[in-house]
Structure formats: C-alpha cells, structure tokens
Amino acid sequence: MLSIENDYFIGQVNPQQGARLLSLQRKQRGGLEPIVLAPCEGQLIGQKATAFPLIPFGGRLQDGIFAWQDGNIRLPCQPGQCILHGDGSRRPWNIHDHTPESITMGLEYPSQGWPFPARIQMRYLVRGPSFKAIFYVRNLSASPIPFGLGWHPYFAFAKDHWLTLNVKDRAKLTASGFSPKLRPEPRIQTFSAGDGPATWQFRFGGGSIQMGRGASAMYDIVCSSSVDHVVIHLAPNQDSIAIEPMSHPLHDPGASVVPGNGRKSMAVMLRLR
C-alpha cells in the first residue's frame, strides 16, 4: 500500500489490488474527514467502499457478450452469468512512478478477459486543494478497438449530504443491475441519503458535480469532455454514494472506440470548496 499526501489530502493506494484508491481523506483542523471511504476489515471485492478503475468497461455483459462493429464479441463467461466492470480492478498494476503527491500505474492488454492489445496508464495526483484521477489508453494495433475508461469511487454520504449534477437523459436500473433505455429528460438531478438505495444511469450534461452538506457545498467534481455517462449508486447501507464517470454507456464498451495506433484519455478532478 502506498500513500499520496499534501496539505489538503491524504490517500492510500494499492496497485496490487486493482489500482484501488483505498481511501481519500481531507485534512481538517480537528483531524481527518473521509471523502472516499476505506474498506471494512480489509475486504475489497464487493465492498461498498474504495475507488477502482472501470477498465476496460463499466456495467454488466450478459453471457460476456457485447456488440462490436458488425458482430458480437464473446468474453469468457459461464453460461447464464454476466461479467461486471471488466478485469482492471482485479489485476495487479505495475508502478511506473511514485512521489509524495502522485502515483502512476500501468496495465497491459490483451488479457484473459479482454482480447484487444492496449497499454493503460492511470495516475492519482494531489495538487493544492485538488485531487485528480487521470486515465490513458493507447491502442497497440493498427485497427480500431473497443476500450472504455471509467472510475468507480464510493464517497462518504451522510444524512445531511446532498449531490447535484446536470443530466440530459436518464434511466433507473432494474433490480438485476441492467439499465433500461435512456429517456431524454434534461434537468438538474439532486440526490440525498434519504432517497434510499437505487442506481441510475445518466447521459452527462456537463459542468461540475457538486457535493454538499446542509446549506454549504463541500467540493466540486469536474470531468473531462470524454466523460459521456455518469452512474449514481446509492448504497443500501445509506452511508455512501458511488459516482461513476465513464466514456461509454453502461453495458456497451463497443461504443467507446480507440482508433488504430491512437489514444484516449479521461480525467476526473475533485476540487475542495
């Protein structure tokens, strides 16, 4: 486990367990305030905490199948089962660089769970009152490949917290975790802990996502233009909320194309108020 730290933040990162940001805390005069929740009792997979990459896709693929070009790609999957969120959060990442304020990690494809050749770089960085998560993918072939970029952080979300974001389309996920077709409904979407457990997919309307407490905003989450969709998941334990920016719609990695020998990037910045 490695640390990144400055005058505003302290974070813990585990490259060997899926490049997870295990926790991110804000430094206050009275101590530390959690932003990204730490896992309980060392559990990572399935734990409603930490922040992990959605590489090379986010969402569920029923029977491991997704549409690509004029046909389908079938990934290794048990009949009748689905694959969730790709394999990037379950593989060890290589450490490329580590300083007190940043860590850069890398991952190579193809893998057993993804047949397309690519080189991935991911960086966590604290600079002044801002934290950044930055993702790059480089296509190692001359042909276009599908490759999604996304991030899945669980933020502390107490009873007096609220969240707002600008959306264009939206859909509430079914109990099985799949998203119906998005419906056009431009609006400022607001969430609070009292809304109860649910998961929504949105086509992102741009601007900043704001997190606040009571009458005050605590921080802004600013996404790069490559963020096309955002998923919001209110956890059943009602003390956390997942804010998941992605370069493609849920369950559809074929919609995120990297051109032959090309690159794609995504960045998410959390800026304290």
Residue 37 has pLDDT above 90, yes or no: no
| pLDDT at position 41 over 70 | no
Q: Each residue of 53-94: pLDDT tens digit?
A: 999 999 999 999 999 999 999 999 998 999 999 999 999 999
Q: CB burial class (10 A; 0-12, 13-18, 19+) of residue 15?
A: buried
Overall domain count for the chain: 1
Domain with 42 in it:
2-272
Q: Residues near 261 by Cβ (< 8 Å), separated by ≥ 6?
A: 139, 140, 141, 142
Q: Which phi and psi (to 5°) does residue 194 adopt?
A: -75, -5
Question: Dihedrals φ, ψ of 16, to 5°?
Answer: -75, -20
Residue the block writes with tokens 């899945």: 152
pLDDT at 47 over 60: no
Residues contacting residue 70 through CB under 8 Å, at least 6 positions apart:
none
Q: Is the pLDDT of residue 194 over 60?
A: yes
What's the predicted TM-score (pTM) here?
Answer: 0.94
CA–CA distance, 203 with 16 (Å, rounded to integer) = 32
User: What integer pLDDT is reported at residue 42 of this predicted model?
Assistant: 57
pLDDT in tens, 218-273: 999 999 999 999 999 998 877 899 999 999 999 999 999 999 999 999 999 999 99
What would the mean pLDDT of 19-28 be, rounded to a whole number? Answer: 95
First to last CA, the chain: 28
The pLDDT mean for the chain works out to: 94
CA distance 11 to 131: 10
CATH number of the domain where residue 261 is located = 2.70.98.10
